[in-house]
Chain A
Amino acid sequence: MAGGMTMSQGKLLVVEELHKSFGSLEVIKGVSFDMDCKERLVVMGPSGSGKSTLVRCINWIEPPSAGRVTFDGKLVESGKYDIRRLREDIGMVFQQFNVFPHLTALQNVALGPLVVKKTARKAAEAEAMELLAKVGLSHRADYKPGQMSGGEQQRVAIARALAMHPKLMLFDEPTSSIDVELIHEVLDVMVRLAGEGMAMIVVTHEMGFAKEVADRVIFMDQGLIIESGTPSEVFEHPQQERTQSFLSKVLLA
């Protein structure tokens, strides 16, 4: 793509013609989009549309099969822009939390800086304490994940990702595994984070969150972006039939 270099000027993230296959199954069939610093993107789509895989490709948790990813002006390529550096700069929050069960909340949050950035223990733990306060969990610092609710575990996971001072946060269905009455705890933290100017890509079906926070909504189906625009454009005037039928199902649910 000739315009690749100019496209990436000033952009936080540029994804070009991304493909991902598992064996003979192609899950992402050529996806391109870009985002500015501080931009908030919500990705929606039916299950199997490839939205989770797309997010997991951005930090190489799933290495893309083809295509280009440029992050912060640097082309991500195995070998060139070190994948590990990329992951330090991109925080990730998982559907299943994936907090470390053998560590306390505080240790969970401090581990990344301690191990990866070689931060001194005192400094790492002091900052971990601040981050736990930020997600409303100061009182759970010495609890292990097994003693916490899903909502609390997910907030620990958010604090753990923030401890690396990422430039972008990826949220892969962050509230799908959480009891309905606790979802707001997690969404509140995410809304506050967005308010502070954190760039984020959020895979979610939470329409309320998307309307409140998203600069742009991307709608995916069968491995392709079929529609994108502001929340009001996509939710109120969907152009594609598949978007309309999906939205009607989500709204009914």
Chain B
Amino acid sequence: MIKWSIIFDNLPFLVAGAWTTLALTVVSMIFATVAGLLVGLMNMFGGKVIGAITRVYIEAIRGTPALLLILIVYYALPTIGLNLPRFPAAVVSLAVCYAAYIAEVFRAAVESIPKGQSEAAFSLGMNRAQALRHVILPQTFRRVLPPLANEFAALIKDTSLVSVIAMQDLLFNAKIIGARTANFLSPLIGAALIYLIMTTPVMQWSRNLEKKVE
């Protein structure tokens, strides 16, 4: 049975974990967005070779579990001399993972801009980079926000995977409380509620943005 007292008594510990979750999400999301934009642009405009390389990267990431990537970065990279502490290792693996998804978000947004827009830019004498910077990307910006917010909400949840490398995030701390009190249900429900508090506003924001874009 749920014992609310367990949740309340350990709330500071859960909240501390939630802060780690949030910090991890925000930092990873920033890196993933920048990298995703670059990968997306390279995939669309980088030519045949770079296009193919980025495509392989995107498909490889999308076809394998994020958990696997976290394990590779934290446990396997040290064997080739690349020893990352927990937080950077978690950020790197989540960013590398989400960059692939976000690259696809940017690609879909750029492709949704009518061809006439780039034709008009070219007809003025702009080169491809100028057309992208001044005509295409400013228009994709609004279209990209709702799906990016969705990715952000998904990332909040996926950060829980880093408990596998003993990062003290929300889920990890909940499990510790469970073990200590011999009551797993209460702290896990508490963690679930805190995840919901974090994800619900983001998803609602995404929905509102989507309505605005339409």
Interface positions of A (Cβ within 8 A of B): 59, 61, 84-85, 87-88, 90-92, 94, 96, 98-102, 111-112, 115-116, 157, 160-161, 164
Contacts and interface: CB of A to CB of B under 8 A. Distances in A.
A99 B123 CA distance: 12
13 contacts: A61-B123, A84-B125, A94-B119, A98-B117, A100-B117, A101-B139, A102-B138, A116-B124, A116-B126, A160-B120, A161-B124, A164-B124, A164-B125
A84 B127 contact: yes
Q: What 3 pairs across the A-B complex have the smallest Cβ distances?
A: A88-B125, A98-B120, A112-B124
Given A61-B122, A84-B127, A116-B125, A111 B117 contact: no
A91 B124 CA distance: 7
A78 to B, nearest CB: 14
B125 A87 contact: yes
Interface of B: 114, 116-117, 119-120, 122-127, 130, 134-135, 138-139, 142
Contact of A88 (B119, B124, B138): B124
Contacts of A91: 123
Nearest to A61: B119
Contacts of B119: 61, 94, 98
B126 A102 contact: no
B139 A102 contact: yes
- By secondary structure, the A interface counts as mixed
A85 B117 CA distance: 19
Contacts of B125: 84-85, 87-88, 112, 116, 164
- By secondary structure, the B interface counts as helix
Contacts of B120: 92, 94, 98-100, 157, 160
A94 B118 CA distance: 12
A164 B123 CA distance: 10
A88 B142 CA distance: 30
A79 to B, nearest CB: 15
Contacts of A87: 122-125
Given A88-B124, A90-B123, A102-B142, 16 more contacts: A61-B119, A61-B123, A84-B125, A84-B127, A92-B123, A94-B119, A98-B114, A98-B116, A98-B119, A99-B120, A100-B135, A111-B134, A112-B126, A157-B120, A164-B124, A164-B125
Nearest to A94: B116
B124 A111 contact: yes
Contacts of A99: 120
A86 to B, nearest CB: 8
Given A111-B134, A116-B130, A160 B139 contact: no
B33 to A, nearest CB: 20
A102 B138 CA distance: 7
A157 B121 CA distance: 11
A90 B123 CA distance: 8
Contacts of B126: 84, 112, 115-116
Contacts of B139: 100-102
A92 B122 CA distance: 10
A92 B127 CA distance: 16
